[in-house]
A and B are shown apart, each in its own frame.
Chain A
Amino acid sequence: MKIQIKGGRVVDPASGADKVQDVFVAAGRIVALGAEPGAFHANRVIDAAGLVVCPGLVDLSARLREPGYEYKATLESEMAAAVAGGVTSLVCPPDTDPPLDEPGLVEMLKHRARSLNQAHVYPLGALTQGLKGERITEMAELLDAGCIAFSQADVPLSDNLVLLRAMQYATTFGYPVWLRPRDAALSRDGVAHDGQVATRLGLAPIPVIAETAALSTILLLVRETGAKVHLCRLSSADGVDMVRQAKALGINVTCDVSANQVHLSEMDIGYFDSNCHLVPPLRSIRDRDAVRRGVQDGTVDAICSDHTPVDEDAKQLPFGESEAGATGLELLLALTLKWADEAGIALPAALARITSAPARILGIRAGSLASGAGADLCVFDPQVRWKVEPAMLKSQGKNTPFAGYEMSGKVRFTLVEGHVVYEA
């Protein structure tokens, strides 16, 4: 299959290139940019006039809900959501049921995902067995089965000795460890940011220190062990500051935030909107603004969707009893463009946060349009305006705090390994 993508604005965040030109795809790879290679004879020509052509999105956190939570979502529904959102590579956290702590589970997931021929799936293996924080997993076996790194997902690891040992063991083999800084005791029973909204609504609070106390422990352990650590879902101004300082000191960490934290604050909870019950919690406006500055200055490497499809029954409960999370795969691009528009960020720099930067964190050959790179592409219309209507989402999870928002930018084509897997 040979495809010519004709006349689009080709943006390659990895190289910074941004110009109108053609892209030529053959045998799953980008074979040329600009001039047509000799004797190309395209099987299909995609007219991309007025559209943006960029690398397929790389999402550092998307829950697919298999195995165990098929009533919330299935691989079929969520992979369709991914490509509809222009996402061609995604990382799924290990908090499935059972958790991804055995090679067989990971192999099954990889196999199921591959057979769907859509986005590439990179599972995170559980750092500890059953995510219980007691015994480390067979990391080498899990890596062979297809895991890309090891994580506790959102389950805090309260025993610092186990955390130290897990980091030492992973570092022995050079495996990355992904951690969301969260102190178990300080966040216990909490459901909302310890701020004016939780005080007013009487919601059990999660203080910022639940993030920063854990973060300072992790940073000290990174310095001690030299572990390769990626910090997930920062939510606070203080947390972003600590990472900025750590990076300035030469501590080798990367970090991401969820697109929810880039746009929303505790104020959006309104009258107990359970769609705004998220983990980590939506924090103050000041925190949100600091997160945005962190993304802009590169302290925060990547924006992810933190896609978490939740069934309606689990959301139609009092705020504190409702299940946390928001669907996000189909909103990641539009929310990133919205941030870029509001903050005055150039398109290549904005797209870097959801393509080349997360690809670099993963160490995968994606997020680039270099000639010879795999043809994972997203072609979107930057102008078209649309309204978020939960029922229209392909994801089985309709739970979004952005319902009714006006967005700009809609995916028109998604290519994975040179095949059109989505078009609209």
Chain B
Amino acid sequence: MTVSNPQLDVNGELTHLLTVEGLPREIILRILDTAHSFLSVGEREIKKVPLLRGKAIFNLFFEASTRTRTTFEIAAKRLSADVINLNVGTSSQSKGETLLDTVANLSAMHADMFVVRHSQSGAAHLIARHVAPYIHVINAGDGRHAHPTQGLLDMFTIRHYKKEFSALRVAIVGDVLHSRVARSQIHALTTLGVPEVRVIGPRTLLPSNVSELGVHVYHDMTTGLKDVDVVIMLRLQNERMNGALLPSAQEFFKYYGLTPEKLANAKRDAIVMHPGPMNRGIEIESSVADGRQSVILPQVTFGIAVRMAVMSILAGNA
């Protein structure tokens, strides 16, 4: 059965942000352009614009996250929205309430927007399918599926430093298999016309059909990083460091950790990105994380502007 894209309304306008996959190029560019206009808000003495005054935004985190939740909270507050933070993982769900009951209850409190994080792929889609039509859903990470605002802020960062997408080589390194960030980045990069997207990692950390996403697969950093313009490192979760996927964090670092020597294979002006939080000495050596080519902290700053852009566009105020 063919289903229409659940994040676009009948006019093709964005009504939820659930995934970067299938998002039209024009919408992605509009988000990036809008974010650009918000960049200066954070630098003013009064860091606020009144675009979302009177709107209630619920941060609905079924999976713990301090960073992402905080950046969404700051973004909403800079737009003058009322922000309610709920760590659902520790309250109603543990009392047996279902996901949709929780959402229905919060809808009854006149929410305008839900920012949702959940450990299961597809949770944001499920919620979007069941909320009232005036409520907008932003996926802040669902299982291994998608983390669209992260993917978009990464595009913002790349555009900021590289200006054009059409001549870039981008390498994504590490645990692609479990990474919603990587999936969103890959869709964004291919939609924006990046001609060569590479993924680098051991076979145990790459999905079996990853090349069907339009990427080139490498298992070796020296060849994989050769002449790339952008290096994106992924976070390796603690529980995946010892077991059947990897023998040890040390061996992973030896072969896939980003060191100055490995980075020397990339272009001289290549930028280094990481969605955070970083594992220094596992994915990335400190001298690289804090080095000249690192744009990891600007990513965080840009992330707030991008989230402001997404919220304002969804609310129809952009």
Find out whether the CB atom of B122 lies under 8 angstroms from the CB atom of A318: yes
Identify 20 residue pairs between A and B in the complex whose beta-carbon atoms are under 8 Å apart, listed by A's number: A194-B208, A195-B209, A199-B209, A200-B21, A200-B183, A201-B122, A202-B142, A202-B146, A202-B183, A203-B145, A204-B144, A207-B208, A270-B2, A273-B1, A273-B3, A318-B123, A318-B142, A318-B143, A319-B121, A320-B121
Find out whether the CB atom of B146 lies under 8 angstroms from the CB atom of A199: no
Find out whether the CB atom of B121 lies under 8 angstroms from the CB atom of A272: yes
Over the window 119-133 of chain B, the binary record of Cβ atoms lying under 8 Å from chain A Cβ atoms (1 yes, 0 no) is 011110110001000
Contact of B99 with A by CB under 8 A: yes
Find out whether the CB atom of A320 lies under 8 angstroms from the CB atom of B120: yes
Complex: A313 Cα to B98 Cα, angstroms: 9
Complex: A200 Cα to B142 Cα, angstroms: 13
Q: How far in angstroms is the closest Cβ of chain A from B31?
A: 21
Complex: A170 Cα to B120 Cα, angstroms: 42
Contact of B274 with A by CB under 8 A: no
Contact of B100 with A by CB under 8 A: yes
Over the window 266-281 of chain A, the binary record of Cβ atoms lying under 8 Å from chain B Cβ atoms (1 yes, 0 no) is 0010111100000000
Residue with the greatest number of chain B CB neighbours at <10 A, chosen from A195, A199, A313: A199
Over the window 137-169 of chain B, the binary record of Cβ atoms lying under 8 Å from chain A Cβ atoms (1 yes, 0 no) is 000001111100000000000000000000000
Find out whether the CB atom of B126 lies under 8 angstroms from the CB atom of A317: yes
Complex: A403 Cα to B3 Cα, angstroms: 13
Contact of A93 with B by CB under 8 A: no
Find out whether the CB atom of A318 lies under 8 angstroms from the CB atom of B118: yes
Find out whether the CB atom of A200 lies under 8 angstroms from the CB atom of B213: yes
Complex: A401 Cα to B6 Cα, angstroms: 18
Find out whether the CB atom of A201 lies under 8 angstroms from the CB atom of B212: no
Q: How far in angstroms is the closest Cβ of chain A from B208?
A: 5
Q: Which A residue sits closest to B121, measured CB to CB?
A: A202
Complex: A313 Cα to B143 Cα, angstroms: 21
**A-B contact sample (12 more), CB < 8 A, given A318-B99, A321-B120, A404-B1:** A201-B121, A202-B183, A203-B144, A205-B208, A270-B2, A271-B122, A272-B122, A316-B98, A316-B130, A318-B118, A318-B122, A320-B143
Contacts of A207 in B (CB 8 A): 208
Find out whether the CB atom of A272 lies under 8 angstroms from the CB atom of B212: no
The one of B1, B121, B146, B210 in contact with A270, judged by C-beta atoms closer than 8 angstroms, is B1
Q: Given A199-B213, A201-B121, A207-B208: A316 and B1 within 8 A (CB)?
A: no
Complex: A196 Cα to B183 Cα, angstroms: 12
Q: How far in angstroms is the closest Cβ of chain A from B97?
A: 12
Residue with the greatest number of chain B CB neighbours at <10 A, chosen from A199, A272, A318: A318
Contacts of B100 in A (CB 8 A): 316
The one of B1, B3, B6, B120 in contact with A319, judged by C-beta atoms closer than 8 angstroms, is B120
Q: Given A316-B98, A317-B98, A318-B99: A199 and B208 within 8 A (CB)?
A: yes
Interface residues in B, total, Cβ within 8 A: 29
Contact of B207 with A by CB under 8 A: yes
Contacts of A198 in B (CB 8 A): 207
Find out whether the CB atom of B98 lies under 8 angstroms from the CB atom of A318: no
Find out whether the CB atom of A271 lies under 8 angstroms from the CB atom of B120: no
Contact of B180 with A by CB under 8 A: yes
Find out whether the CB atom of B207 lies under 8 angstroms from the CB atom of A199: yes
Contacts of B99 in A (CB 8 A): 317-318
Find out whether the CB atom of A272 lies under 8 angstroms from the CB atom of B213: no
Contacts of B209 in A (CB 8 A): 194-196, 199
Contacts of A318 in B (CB 8 A): 99, 118, 120-123, 126, 142-143
Q: How far in angstroms is the closest Cβ of chain B from A284?
A: 10
Complex: A317 Cα to B93 Cα, angstroms: 13
Find out whether the CB atom of A319 lies under 8 angstroms from the CB atom of B213: no
Find out whether the CB atom of A271 lies under 8 angstroms from the CB atom of B210: no
CB within 8 Å of B: which A92-134 residues: none
Q: Which B residue sits closest to A205, measured CB to CB?
A: B208
Contacts of B183 in A (CB 8 A): 200, 202
Q: Which B residue sits closest to A321, measured CB to CB?
A: B120
Contacts of B207 in A (CB 8 A): 198-199, 205
Complex: A268 Cα to B3 Cα, angstroms: 10
Complex: A195 Cα to B210 Cα, angstroms: 9
Over the window 176-203 of chain A, the binary record of Cβ atoms lying under 8 Å from chain B Cβ atoms (1 yes, 0 no) is 0000000000000000001110111111
